[in-house]
Structure 1
Amino acid sequence: MQIQDLPYPDPGVPDARSGPRFLWWLGRNQLGGQLKSLAWGLLHFLSVCGLPFCVGFAVQAVVDRSGARLAQTGGLLLLCGLGIALGDAMLHRTAVTNWITAAARVQQLLARRTALLGSALTRRVAAGEVVAVSTGDVEKIGWFVEAVSRFSAAALTVVAVCVGLLVYQPALGVIVAVGVPVLALAVLPLLPRATRRADTQREKAGRATELASDTVAGLRVLRGIGGEELFLDRYRRASQEVRTAAVRSARMWSVISALQVLMPGLLMIAVVWRGVQLAHEGRIAVGELVTVYSAVMLLTYPLQHFQEIAMAYSFSRPSARRAARVLSLERATDSRGSREATVPTGDLYDPTTGLLVPAGLFTAVVCGDPDAAGMLAERLGGHPAEEGTSVLLDGIPLDELPLHSARTAVLVQDKDPVLLSGSLRELLDVPASGAVGAEAALAAAQCGDVLDALTQGSPAADDPMDARITERGRSLSGGQRQRLALARSLITDPQVLVLDEPTSAVDSHTEARIAEGLRALRADRTTVVFTSSPLVLDRADRVVLVHEGRVAAVGPHRELVRDDPRYRAVVTRETDEESAARDGAPTADAPADDGLTERVLAELEEIEETA
């Protein structure tokens, strides 16, 4: 795989059982690139380590006054120079390719898993951790994957040089052959501590990232309540903890780096001391001493990769563990899409609550608990909190449908939908049936004033679809963001559209017009709206009250307001005293008949006439 061939047609199925297993899986899937990098690395390192032998031969040729051997040595030096240049250039090229392709594979896997889990992802993994995995962790994983081939080339080169010195000059080669493994293994006792400190730094950095993400997401609310300084102090403390952990980790790595300098120096002193003794005794030639000395000096270059692979693994291991954790997440009862890839049509049924949504009708659901409403909406979208609680569409569990079919069949719009930055045209460019155009969807969602706000003072005044939307739509009000998100959902035109409080941030007159537009545009389509707004409830074909986790009442809105006190308490915010008075038991604080239902119905009629 080359960089120009990215993205992968299929990034594969990762082994996400643990961080090391995931790293091993990545390495195996890039075997071709690893072997290329290994080959070029061997050429480069062996050419570098061949220089001492050439220098030794040249010195001995001068001592022996042999011009022919000196000329041959010059040719060998030229070959080594060409090998160094070519090997270094190609090693860098293949290493960068391995890094980028590994990172791209991980990013594609994360994107695919995010698409599979949808909104369930951030409920099971902190948002800051998701950000850390998809940014910094991806780079660290790619670093380790590409460093493996360079380390392998360096290790093979070290072995080759040690064997060569044993053959070339056994008396000094033995010292090198014994000393080099000691150099490579000297830092091993320090690696567990360095790894633990690196893990601590990563954990603290992840928490700081999560805190920053949450602060930025809630900045408008924080400004409204004056909580900026509180969260800023929290981030300062988290940032200082990250700094302290990073300094402690850097200290340990500095000790390891110092050992990597000290130990080769001690080996070089031992080789020179013994070599001078042997030369004084006449047992080795001057050229041989120069060769062994130069070889030990240049061995420090490939030995540096031993430290790098230790650092790369220490930093990538927690990153791989976090990535494996995200990639191992599954839908609660995912059966791998055992059903055929067809989109069923029919009634939607939730066994947990007993909620039945007839096909082709506009059904409104009232829950006294907003959290329970949110969980029910997620369950209707195919994200059950527990196994065995999947909803049925036309009698088929959603979890047994292929993901594409399930998402074509049912679409859930969250209570707080996210608007991505870009043009309005890009925002509305979503997978759709083609039956609902952008103009019809924007009109049904009452987005006229939103278009005016987007085009005001913008160069896109001629075509509102080219108007720019800032990140998460922060330049728009809450109601404007809600309406744009609603228009985006309407364009998709799914078999079943589930909306969680889609009009909670708009005024009553706009809400009434949205309810009418939604009913008209979604005619003969199944629509479920979680709301407690009388304006929306009054336009629904049927209203369902979910009380304490079960369906408690079903009927038209006006009948339920009149006959069901639990429904009336949620929709009209009726107090216990008012309910008791309505049922014929007046209290000291409430009259026997305050006309609450009549007032609510009168207000509905007044708003309808105005709208």
Structure 2
Amino acid sequence: MRLGASTALLMVHQICEALVPVLIGLCIDRAIGPSDAGAMLWCLGGLTAVFLLLTYSWRHGYRLTNKVYGFGDHALRQLTVGKVLDARATGSLFGAGKTLNIATSDTAMTAGLSWLVSQTSANLAALATAGTSLLLISWRLGLLVLVATLVFLLLMHFITAPLERRTHLQQERAAEATGLATDLVTGLRVLQGLGATRTATERYRAISRASLRAALGTAKSEALFSSVTLGLSAVFLAAITWVAASMTIAGELSIGQLVTVVGLAQFIKDPMGALAYFPAGLAQKRAAATRIATLLTTEVGAEPAVSAAPEAGTGGTGFSEMLIRGDGLHPDILLRPGAVIGLRADAATARGLTALLAGRTPDVGQRLHINEHPVADAGLAALRSMVFVADHGAAIFTGSIRDNLHATRPSAAVLAATGLDEICARLPLGLDARVGEAGRALSGGQRQRLLLARALHQRQPVIVLAEPTTALDSVSEARIAQALGSFRKSALLVVSDSPLLLGACDTVFDAAPPHTAGANR
């Protein structure tokens, strides 16, 4: 609806632009030639009204089209990011670099279809207005413009064909180069450790050169397109002017009509050039949309219907217990509201359990049960509505401390328990202090306090903390252990090998080799 309104306004703007030389010609013939002051006033009033209308329509048409573009870009980006954040398959299939390119440049390019639609419609309206005006002045001039426009567009179609192919190739090569660069920067330390920096550099150099060649090919095609468009427009304008001048000398046209014809011929060369570029612009957006569609239609595994799902709620609503069945490394673990349970486990066991609880690995053996219902039957969304897993290496988002807590009014008790209140007290902006990109403005201990505070602010009835204090000193760890021992808002599962943390738990289980029983304290 908004796109339709913006298109209509831009069409009105172009129609008014085409009417300007028509009104000037009428002023010459009916006011300036006869020296009629009254007609001059009417002409000036008409020109003023046309300029007011074209200014209004341009301003609001541009604003509405820009809104459509902005909302479309945002919606596409949300779709792609939502697909990428699915923990089951998408990220591993596309990689960070290519995904970044799709979620930024491709979404912006595809959303630009709104501009292409509105501006193409406006250009067609301008040509229709100019052609009709010329037909009313002289059918020969109108027919000449119609034939010349068709020939012009036909020639441009053949010229833009190689431009379309090279534009598509350039986008593909640029996406590959951007994706590889992002992946290399992300894994730079790993590459240095493996001694593969030289190989990675050579690979990027090859892809970058291919991208450069594709860009140069596109630039050459665009230069040829612009040259031919300019040349044909000049020939077209000269032909119209020559025919109109000949008709004026023969007495078939007045001076005002001659001015109108020359003005319209000068005006319509821009809409004609824009229409000639339409296939190339559409090809760019189609190529970008194809890459987005490929990402969005990637199968990540069907979610089973929620039949016997646990009641999804927050803050413990509908939650009575969660059972984690043992897998030979630990016994069955039962979590109830307000309980603080500890699991002493090595790194491998901790990673496997947290991945299962976060839904990153499938619950093949139906080890997880909430309210006596298998979580595998309820689906990933139901699991995440009930369980929050605070990974040891969770991401910190660019923004403020408050933004990362995801709480408009952070809990004073949580801030005090994690020591985050002391950190904020030393910062000029307090909770609104910026943490830098990926939290780089924070130390390791500050980052861990922030992640722990964010976890304790979650509303799920079960919160899993995996090694939450590894970067803290013993005094801070003891303080946090005491606070966790009195945290009864949710069921807590603390996966750690820290004696201080485990000592604050109600019950502690030991991860052990198969056939070894768990120890309760």
- TM-score higher than 0.5: yes
- Could you say which residue in structure 2 is the equivalent of 1:46? 15
In angstroms, what is the RMSD of aligned CA positions?
4.8
How do 1:59-74 and structure 2 match up within 5 A? 66-68=34-36, 72=39
In structure 2, relative to structure 1, the CA distance for the partners of 1:245 and 1:112 (3 Å cut) is: closer
CA distances 1:413-439 after superposition (whole Å, capped 9, x unpaired): 2342112344444433448997x9323
Counterpart residue type for residue 439 of structure 1: L
Identity of aligned residues (%): 24
CA contact (8 A) 2:368 2:376 kept: yes
- Could you say which residue in structure 1 is the equivalent of 2:285? 316
SS at 2:112 equivalent? helix
Counterpart residue type for residue 362 of structure 1: I
- Could you say which residue in structure 2 is the equivalent of 1:470? 436
The CA deviation at 1:410 is 0.6
- Could you say which residue in structure 1 is the equivalent of 2:335? 359
Residues 1:346 and 2:346 are matched in the alignment: no
Q: Which runs of 5+ in 2 are unaligned?
A: none
SS at 1:498 equivalent? strand
SS at 2:397 equivalent? coil
Cα distance in 1 for partners of 2:367, 2:294 equals 24
Cα distance in 1 for partners of 2:67, 2:305 equals 30
- Could you say which residue in structure 2 is the equivalent of 1:492? 458
* Bigger Cα displacement from structure 2, 134-143 vs 252-261: 134-143
How do 1:134-283 and structure 2 match up within 5 A? 134-211=103-180, 213-214=182-183, 242-275=211-244
Cα distance in 2 for partners of 1:138, 1:440 equals 43
In structure 2, relative to structure 1, the CA distance for the partners of 1:476 and 1:84 (3 Å cut) is: same
CA contact (8 A) 2:359 2:380 kept: no
Residues 1:413 and 2:390 are matched in the alignment: yes
Counterpart residue type for residue 122 of structure 2: A
- Could you say which residue in structure 2 is the equivalent of 1:381? 358
In structure 2, relative to structure 1, the CA distance for the partners of 1:471 and 1:392 (3 Å cut) is: same
Cα distance in 2 for partners of 1:253, 1:387 equals 56
Counterpart residue type for residue 397 of structure 1: V
Residue number among 54, 61, 74 corresponding to 1:87 in the alignment: 54
CA contact (8 A) 1:419 1:472 kept: yes
CA contact (8 A) 1:433 1:493 kept: no
CA contact (8 A) 2:31 2:39 kept: no
In structure 2, relative to structure 1, the CA distance for the partners of 1:337 and 1:137 (3 Å cut) is: farther
In structure 2, relative to structure 1, the CA distance for the partners of 1:143 and 1:113 (3 Å cut) is: closer
SS at 2:457 equivalent? helix
The CA deviation at 1:169 is 1.0
In structure 2, relative to structure 1, the CA distance for the partners of 1:500 and 1:192 (3 Å cut) is: farther
CA contact (8 A) 2:478 2:500 kept: no
Residue number among 75, 82, 87 corresponding to 2:42 in the alignment: 75
Counterpart residue type for residue 322 of structure 2: D
The CA deviation at 1:176 is 1.0
TM-score (norm 2): 0.76
CA distances 1:231-252 after superposition (whole Å, capped 9, x unpaired): 7887777666544433332322
Counterpart residue type for residue 447 of structure 2: R
CA distances 1:92-126 after superposition (whole Å, capped 9, x unpaired): 33323322343235425644774687462644543
Cα distance in 2 for partners of 1:106, 1:398 equals 35
Residue number among 485, 489, 494 corresponding to 1:520 in the alignment: 485
SS at 2:388 equivalent? strand
- Could you say which residue in structure 2 is the equivalent of 1:585? none
- Could you say which residue in structure 1 is the equivalent of 2:413? 437
SS at 1:87 equivalent? helix
The CA deviation at 1:441 is 3.9
- Could you say which residue in structure 2 is the equivalent of 1:555? 517
The CA deviation at 1:369 is 5.1
CA contact (8 A) 1:419 1:427 kept: yes
In structure 2, relative to structure 1, the CA distance for the partners of 1:221 and 1:213 (3 Å cut) is: same
Flag the structure with more relative contact order, 1 or 2, with Cα contacts below 8 A and sequence separation at least 6. Answer: 2
CA contact (8 A) 1:41 1:88 kept: no
Residues 1:541 and 2:503 are matched in the alignment: no
* Bigger Cα displacement from structure 2, 301-310 vs 528-537: 528-537
Q: Which runs of 5+ in 1 are unaligned?
A: 1-30, 560-611
Cα distance in 1 for partners of 2:272, 2:110 equals 22
In structure 2, relative to structure 1, the CA distance for the partners of 1:288 and 1:163 (3 Å cut) is: same
Counterpart residue type for residue 457 of structure 2: I
CA distances 1:248-296 after superposition (whole Å, capped 9, x unpaired): 3232222222232222222233334444555566655565454333322
In structure 2, relative to structure 1, the CA distance for the partners of 1:112 and 1:284 (3 Å cut) is: closer
Cα distance in 1 for partners of 2:217, 2:367 equals 49
SS at 1:437 equivalent? helix
CA contact (8 A) 1:47 1:81 kept: no
CA contact (8 A) 2:396 2:439 kept: yes
SS at 1:416 equivalent? coil
* Bigger Cα displacement from structure 2, 482-491 vs 222-231: 222-231
In structure 2, relative to structure 1, the CA distance for the partners of 1:544 and 1:514 (3 Å cut) is: farther
In structure 2, relative to structure 1, the CA distance for the partners of 1:50 and 1:489 (3 Å cut) is: same
The CA deviation at 1:178 is 1.2
Residue number among 294, 299, 316 corresponding to 2:268 in the alignment: 299
Q: How many residues are treated as equivalent by the alignment?
A: 506
SS at 1:412 equivalent? strand
The CA deviation at 1:358 is 1.8
Counterpart residue type for residue 100 of structure 1: K
* Bigger Cα displacement from structure 2, 475-484 vs 294-303: 475-484
CA distances 1:8-57 after superposition (whole Å, capped 9, x unpaired): xxxxxxxxxxxxxxxxxxxxxxx2x2233233223322222223333444
SS at 2:335 equivalent? coil
